[in-house]
Amino acid sequence: MTTPLLSISGLTKAYPGVVANDAVSFDIMEGEVHALLGENGAGKSTLVKMIYGLVKPDSGAMALHGAPYAPPDPHAARKAGVAMVFQHFSLFEAMSVAENVALGMEEPPRLRDLATRIKDVSETYGLPLDPGRIVGDLSAGERQRVEIIRCLLQDPRLLIMDEPTSVLTPQEVEILFQTLRKLSAEGVAILYISHKLEEIRSLCDQATILRQGQNVGTCLPRETSAREMAEMMVGSSFAAPERASRAPGEVALEITGLSVASPSAFGTALKDIHLSVQAGEILGLGGVAGNGQDELLAALSGELPSDAGAIRLNGTPIGWLGPTARRELGLLAAPEERLGHAAAPDMSLTENAFLTGAQREGLTARGFIRWTAARAFARAIIERFDVRTPGPDVAARALSGGNLQKFVIGREVLQRPRVLVVNQPTWGVDAAAAAAIRQALLDLAANGAAILCISQDLDELMEISDRFGALNEGRLSEIRPAQGLSVEEIGLMMGGAHGMEVAHV
Amino acid sequence: MLKLEKRPQPSRLWTWVTPLLAVVITMLAGGALFAALGKDPVEAIATIFWQPLFGEFAFYYRPQLLIKGAPLILIAIGLSLGFRAGIWNIGAEGQYIVGALTGAGVGLAFYPTESVLIFPLMVLAGALGGWAWAMIPAVLKLRFGTNEILVSLMLVYVAEQLLAAMALGPMKNPEGMGFPGSRNLRQYESAHNAELITGTGMHWGVVAAFIAVIFAYVLLTRHSLGYHIRLTGQAPRAARFAGVRPARLVLVCLGTAGALAGLAGMFEVSGPAGQVSIDFNVGYGFTAIIVAFLGRLHPLGILLAGLLMALTYIGGEIAQSNMGLPAAAIQLFQGMLLFFLLAVDVLTNYRIRLARREVA
Amino acid sequence: MDMGSISPELLLASLMVAATPILLAALGELVVERAGVLNLGVEGMMITGAICGFAVAVNSGSPAIGFVAAAGGGAVLALLFALLTQVALANQVASGLALTLFGLGLSSLLGQGYVGIKPPPVAKLDIPLLGDIPFLGRVLFSHDLMVYLGLALVGLIWWVLKYSRAGLILRAVGENHDAAHALGYKVVRIRVMAILFGGACAGLGGAYISLIRVPQWTEGMTAGAGWIALALVVFASWKAGRVLLGAWLFGGVTVLQLNLQAAGFAIPVEYLSMSPYLITILVLVIMAGDKSRAPASLGRIFHASQ
């Protein structure tokens, strides 16, 4: 029997109030594609941060090629041949591709030589990339290429990939997988983190499943059904959202020729968007991150003003109205970023309930706040949406992601919107909370509200939308009925492979 | 090794304990400083904090508490609204000077006419002057996106030069035998901000300060404008999502702060100071920044912090004359207070823990 | 009034001198801000440097030792700021203000015994040949060492930020501290070092005022130079070369208004004295449109939560 490339035994890491990893053990063999599977909050990130030297374990040990391995920092991990592609947070937008790559290397060559090597590697692996471009101007898929190339330039023995496909179209995913298979054939081990079961079944040789910080089992993904893996991951089964058949009513929200510039430096401008949503209908908008999702939500919530006629609510032009006036008319929104955008982290749930509920719930009287009414509204949200919290006086940041998201969505749903716009309603939320939120959206539509759901989770969109469209570089694709759409068709609507090409194997 | 660990929510207890803790640490560090200067630390601290309140001449010093505290509180209340919203007006000293100039200017223009209308007019002019001076950074910020910190501060230096120009030029007392400085408004009944109750130090500025405290308290705890101010400071994106117009807040916060600072300047020039002179401003506009933070940007906290800071001014003067403690030592003492406050403030949002020994 | 008494040669030569203090302070602050930290305490560090340098130069008789002490004094004060903002995670705006108030108090306490004393003179470098070139010799080649040190620092900082690995890492920390941390860079350590460097530079700038420019000690003698240095960094769009241009602009305005005062220009002195501050505001207005180069993490608090 050969020595495993990386052997993990009994790794434990505790944070105040939560054990992120509880005696986790498993092995990764050379050239193996090993899946690390688990829900949000199962402890996947903490585990890979320990392997990459960002976090020190409380106890337990690791061995690389049979020798003890305890990297004090990422520099040591990289020197040992461990590389990591992050899901977020590791690129510098205002810097060039070459500078970004140099920052992730231990002994980078001079920038000019580095640029040549970037070109070489990017051609070999079918990941075209111009070393001189500024990262802030790149698409999400291209940014990921920067991260991958940064790793490949150091000849890694183990490549960690954290949810790499969440920023890719289906076509791009297929190309990435070919690159990864090529690497694995060259003997590189890949630790692949995901919660997407079909992906893991098609790519990985081995899977380790984490639940609440514990290793609850391993399996051979090719021989295990997605359903079995899901049960190991979640631990219990819960009701899939129910979808009542409904007859769409009149057009509630209509967007015609909406074009606005992005307020942020590296944002995406919206270009000539046309769409309409009928009462009782859910319109799902897919697309890779950074293709105008935030801007569309801001344009609809009223944070980003546009021409009056570009947006109509039940026929009334509202493009120039601010958020408050739009809420009064019945157009409500829930942005992606929970902490800092949808809710103020340090304020209590009561204060956060007031944040958007002030007008429609009548929480003010001549400018003065009716705190008793606001608290009652917060309580109503907490009860109706099963938000787990000691009470409405708790600060928003003290809630878990799932609970805060239930609060944020519930806050809008309870205000009886005529049109509700949500962006990434279940991002980073555990499966049970996600199911509850999707059910709430379906129920709201069933009661006659028009819903525009922007999401990067295609499974979610297919589950709840009546019609589907995709955002790509600020433009909106044709909108088609969701039923019967194939993955290929969806991928093409999202922009296809964005100029990526298959690796030259 | 010590490690910081973020609390799930800000600690209410520490919110109120930290200012007291900062005062205690400052007393200790200040004591060490005074000892280093060759003074008896216990006596120095006692002179500063005890003498003005309970000493032999307390009857004289206690009214001073209100006289010195009122401008600090008035200015700090205005600043605290902006600081809460993330709008950094640090040019209150300039707004204070300009308010004094416009207020005194109106009074001097009417000299020697006597009328009950003159003083209210001066109050109005003082507030307007400070407001207008604060509108410069506000409008530049909104129109061009300039940084209000730098602009408001530059305007302090401009105001100081303006003050000198006025004291030596247009406002100079024609009967002052060539000395710089304006007529003394205390000798001009209609323009005199006199003591309301003899021997208490209570003048109209003190009344205004108390009104400002109550007004700010109601605004911040009960009114939606106050809520929007707090929201903007804590989460600017959430504020825009809630429908707050940031431009309006900039105007309101800078305008209020400017008007209150202008009022403070006007009450000072027509009362305790008496005249426009080159050295009229003594740094209340900057000390008020310390007061605002020490009071945790909370109106009641500012009331207490303002009185405490006034105490160090008065006590400092006593220590200066009785013990020969340099005036600069008091200034340093006040600076230390803000320092320690900011340092211990971390305890409100973070817990300090002993990190377990690292296995690696 | 006598405009003829203003010689362009002297004017340009004294411009170089007047520009040096704010140039030094602004270069230090530039490095600090490129690391993602906004230290508003430049004024406090400058005035502390001014008195430290002055006192040590007077007592030791050596201006050189004075400048070293000034850099040390500025750095010590900056260390307090670093402790507040990087260790105790305090708000950078408030901490910077605290630093300035503290520095002003500290300097006037330290300066008690030094009012009215003359410091040891600083020799001018008489560069042979170059110094004898008509006009240019007087303008460019007849200054003290600190003027040239300031100019050298411009080049050095420009090169380090643009071409060296240390500069790349410094910029990375200022651009995105979370990413830099994830790649294993010691964000806090790098920032503390940048803050100390900024303090030392501000200290040198302050000492230049008290030892060479004026030269004597008076309370509050920096008179807003630290704040102008802060404005200069914005003006320069965080680029070293443009800091130099800006410093010359302000130096020019200062010198010109002083000359006009001396020449008995027909408006009161006070209005002329306002001009550098008004020009600063004007420049801020003109440059406000160009925010693109501001480091993305500027002023944000970093706490590695995991």
ipTM (interface pTM): 0.87
pLDDT at A504: 44
Residues in A 315-344 with any Cβ partner in B closer than 8 A: 322-324, 327, 333, 335, 337, 340-344
pLDDT computed for residue A238 by the predictor: 59
- DSSP lists the bridge partners of residue A162 as A193
As a whole number, mean pLDDT of residues C41-54 equals 95
CB contact under 8 A, A103 and C172: yes
Mean pLDDT of C7-21: 84
Residue A217 and residue A36 in contact, taking contact as beta carbons nearer than 8 Å: no
Phi, psi angles (nearest 5°) of residue A158: -130, 125
Q: Is A91 within 8 Å of C176 when comparing Cβ atoms?
A: yes
Domain-by-domain residue ranges, chain C?
3-287
Low-confidence residues of chain A, pLDDT below 70?
Answer: 1, 89, 236-242, 244-246, 496-505
The Cα–Cα gap between A355 and A334 comes to 12
pLDDT in tens, B297-327: 999 999 999 999 999 999 988 988 888 888 8
How many degrees, rounded to 5, is the angle at CA B18 between CA C85 and CA B341?
Answer: 40
Which residue ranges make up each domain of chain B? 65-303
Q: State how far the Cα of C46 lies from the Cα of C70, in Å rounded to an integer.
A: 9
Residues of chain B with Cβ-Cβ distance to C280 below 8 Å are 150, 154
Spatial distance between the Cα atoms of A452 and A433, rounded to a whole number of angstroms: 20
End-to-end CA distance of chain A: 29
**Would you say residue B217 has pLDDT above 80?**
yes
Q: Residue B359: its pLDDT value, please? A: 38
- With bands split at pLDDT 50, 70 and 90, how would you rate the model's confidence at C247? very high
B186 CA: distance to closest CA in chain C (Å):
27
Dist. CA A232–CA A230, nearest whole Å: 5
Report yes or no: A381 and A414 within 8 Å, Cβ to Cβ.
yes
E-strand ranges in C10-166 read none
Instruction: Give the pLDDT confidence score for residue C6 in this predicted structure.
Output: 65
Neighbouring residues of A242: CB distance < 8 A, sequence distance ≥ 6: A439, A442
Encode chain B in three state secondary structure. Answer: CEEEEECCCCCHHHHHHHHHHHHHHHHHHHHHHHHHCCCCHHHHHHHHHCHHHHCCCHHHHHHHHHHHHHHHHHHHHHHHHHHHCCCCCCCHHHHHHHHHHHHHHHHHHHCCCCCCCHHHHHHHHHHHHHHHHHHHHHHHHHHHCCCHHHHHHHHHHHHHHHHHHHHHCCCCCCCCCCCCCCCCHHHCHHHCCCCCCCCCCCCHHHHHHHHHHHHHHHHHHHEHHHHHHHHHHHCHHHHHHHCCCHHHHHHHHHHHHHHHHHHHHHHHHHCCCCCCCCCCCCCHHHHHHHHHHHCCCCHHHHHHHHHHHHHHHHHHHHHHHHHCCCHHHHHHHHHHHHHHHHHHCHHHHEEEEECCCCCC
Q: Could you tell me if A364 lies within 8 Å of chain B, comparing CB atoms?
A: yes
Give the residue from chain A lying closest to B6, CA to CA.
A16
Average pLDDT value over all residues in chain C? 88
Identify from A12, A360, A369, A388 which residue to disrupt to test chain B contact, counting B C-beta atoms within 10 A and taking the largest count: A369
Residue contact A323–B222, C-beta within 8 A: no
Please report the pLDDT score of residue B356 as a whole number. Answer: 52
**CA-based nearest residue to C290, from A475, A265, A313:** A265
**Which CATH superfamily groups domain A6-234?**
P-loop containing nucleotide triphosphate hydrolases (3.40.50.300)
The listed range with the strongest mean pLDDT (A247-256, C49-58, C217-226, C259-268) is C49-58
Hey, what CATH class is C3-287 in? Answer: mainly alpha
3-state helix, strand, coil in chain C (%, to 5): 70, 0, 25
Residue B241 to residue A323, Cβ atoms within 8 A: yes
pLDDT at residue number A457: 86
The CATH classification number of A251-493 equals 3.40.50.300
From A76, A75, A131, A58, select the one nearest A100 (Cα to Cα).
A131
CB atoms within 10 A of CB C40: 26
Q: For the range B54-58, what are the long-range contacts, defined as Cβ-Cβ under 8 Å and sequence gap of 24 or more?
A: B55/B318
Q: Is B232 exposed, middle or buried (0-12, 13-18, 19+ CB in 10 A)?
A: buried
Q: What is the pLDDT of residue B38?
A: 86
**Token pair of C144 as six digits:** 């003290």
Nearest to A104 among C165, C181, C183 (CB): C183
CB contact under 8 A, B234 and A345: yes
Q: Note the pLDDT of residue A494.
A: 86
Tokens encoding A501 = 């090409």
Using the predicted structure, report yes or no on whether residue B335 has a pLDDT greater than 70: yes
pTM: 0.89
**In terms of C-beta density within 10 A (0-12 exposed, 13-18 middle, 19 or more buried), how is residue B46 classed?**
middle
Interchain CB distance below 8 Å, B241 and A356? yes
Contacting residues of A for C295, CB less than 8 Å apart: 94
Q: How many CA atoms lie within 13 A of A389 on its CB side?
A: 32
pLDDT at B202: 84
DSSP H or E stretch at residue A9: strand A6-15
Burial of B13 (0-12, 13-18, 19+ CB in 10 A): exposed
Does pLDDT of C306 surpass 60?
A: no
